[in-house]
Structure 1
């Protein structure tokens, strides 16, 4: 497309020379063609300068207000990061996205129809619990056991445990699914908010950019560039932005272990969940069904107890799907956790954008943005040449009529 646009400019120059010769030597009517070619050259050169000035110095001359993108890459990165933080990773946007998320229903469906792999785990647990419960009185020790269980859960500092689990997952590369989910969510969020980007570019564009259509091209470039960046992250497990995401997860894991404010917040969420009456009712029902089933383990632990504990888990799955209060509490907890994580760690996610762009050299950001825009930039030059020629033809015609 560069060759086509430049060739058209050369053709205009040749036509101009020929038409100028014919106008003076043959007939003045050749002046129409001369005016068309002359104005076409002016329009083509002007648009070549405008397009080139976005990405580099025209002819290597350091003219003020040229090479706009490479000279402002840091500001572009910060502005883009702030834009993502203010329009995508906000409490309002994330809360809207997860508003209809049904975590409790998903867990309930899993427990109601567990895969066969959990059978061995349930069978082993039934033998252990059966030995413990065989000596307990249901009225006295059962109540104490349930109370002790709840008390221990209240005392349990769950945040460091979650932090250690997250660290282990990161070490074993099992967190990649989380990053893939974030990337997928980012792609959908960008797709749903493309018009917001276009509106912002249009609001901030100058009159010249709007007149030439550069604002639309720039908005398209930004959207295409972001889509390309997300696609590259999805395809490349070693992408630099993924490394930044991993740093954010590692920081979150460290905060769960060491940061007092984070541990306090997680503990508050745990206490809210344990204070729900539905949880107490579920513990009571689980105790009764589990005790009855586990006490039969002495006779047939493999068949009876695995089945009874499996039945208890199935009943729990049914409760999670049918008990609206319990579902609301669990789903509220999940939503708060996601929104809170976004609110507290969203800056880490978007900072990787500004840091990555700032780390690019001038040629890298120029090539990536220019390639994202594609051939549209050269169409601007072609259109400028042709439109300039038409304007020159009109002006020449008007001059003859005056």
Structure 2
């Protein structure tokens, strides 16, 4: 597959240091270039000075030694100047083959660099070994047991939770609540499940306290019903009936009523209690098996589910849950934040003391690292080659020279000095062999 052509507008600016640091590096680079060039010029001046001295007819063995050293130093310095310059630009502007290497071979350098990183740094075997030797679980455990670090975990988790909740679209959250809760409540029939729940409660004896509460409530109401009974009798009695007769009848009815409710309240086996139990059991059975009762409950369910309160319930639930979560996430003294601190320190202590847990965590970490290396190394290393490919060639060459040019100037210095020493040594050997007469 052919690579897409990078246009000029798609070129990326080469990242670099701050303007102040870049200016400092350029000053240092110029200084070291001037030093290397100055040493080369000194060698050239010495060489031509020696040649001029010899051309004047002066003799002396020392001239040959100095001239040879200067000549070799000059040649070495020129050769290394050419080599260093050829990395970044054309020497003297001459387009000599195999020069301006970084500018012309930028993309190939990026591919080679990405391949080198992938083969030597992002292979599963090497990463697994390094991760295993790093003892990550031990370091995590040691870090987590510190209270200040546990507080940091709580703080960062709180920030994440608050930001995540704020980032959620309320409409999406309401849709999830409606689909997972409200819509599911409206699908099944309510009668049979409700009947089965009540049946289990009745079989377990949990309905009996309700009977007791109902009977006690009925007796309390009876105790306060004297005026009500009298008023009802007054409204229902004939006009010609004397008032004292109504009061006597009302008092009689009241006394009979409270006597009966007191008896029902005191006697667990009272017939009225049995009637209430039979009514409840029949109601439970009708909820499960009577089509009329089931249909009636479904009508009630439909009215409830179509009500505005239920329709707005998703938004209300989400607003309440969102506000509660955000408040708890931001409050460092909330139950949520305190629980995160407690869990962080507890988990750190377990990692320190539980060998199996520590081994399991280590295996998971190394396994995850190996998986990422096996499956995503190419994607990671491709970032290197693709990024370098998008760099402007001239700017990339300039930035790279700015980073390493100072050290490369030492090559020029060494070339001049080593060349001079080599030239001196070679001339000395030849002088000893061919100039000094043997004894």
TM-score after normalising by structure 2: 0.42
Compare CA radii of gyration and give the structure with the larger one: 2
